[in-house]
Amino acid sequence: MNIVSAFVIFAVTWFLALYCLLPMRIQSQEDAGTDIPQGAMRGAPAKANLKIKAIGATVISAIITGIVYYLITNRIITLGVLEGVFGA
């Protein structure tokens, strides 16, 4: 597995992990009791915690990329195995 393949796997899993983490621990401005500016939606998050979620997505995708790297370099997953599974 070359560096480009690893980067693609990392990028795809990073965005998937981030999208899964985004709705976690969200409290709307209305529920938080903060002052809602005029023109803002009441359901908008009071604090999104994007830094923590980006770090979490990075950790998750690094683990997944490491697992995929291990499986490919040790020939546990090959094109022949994938053809048998998906019937290509």
**pLDDT score recorded for residue 38:** 87
Q: Cα(75)–Cα(26) distance, rounded to whole angstroms? A: 42
Does residue 87 carry a pLDDT above 80?
no
Distances, alpha carbon 32 to alpha carbons 24, 47, 54, 63, in Å: 15, 9, 23, 34
Lowest-confidence region among 6-10, 43-47, 61-65: 43-47
Q: How far apart are CA 66 and CA 84, in angstroms?
A: 24
Percentage of the chain lying above the pLDDT 70 cut: 99
Average pLDDT over residues 60-87: 90
| Other Cβ atoms within 10 Å of 53 Cβ, number | 19
Q: State the pLDDT at residue 85.
A: 83
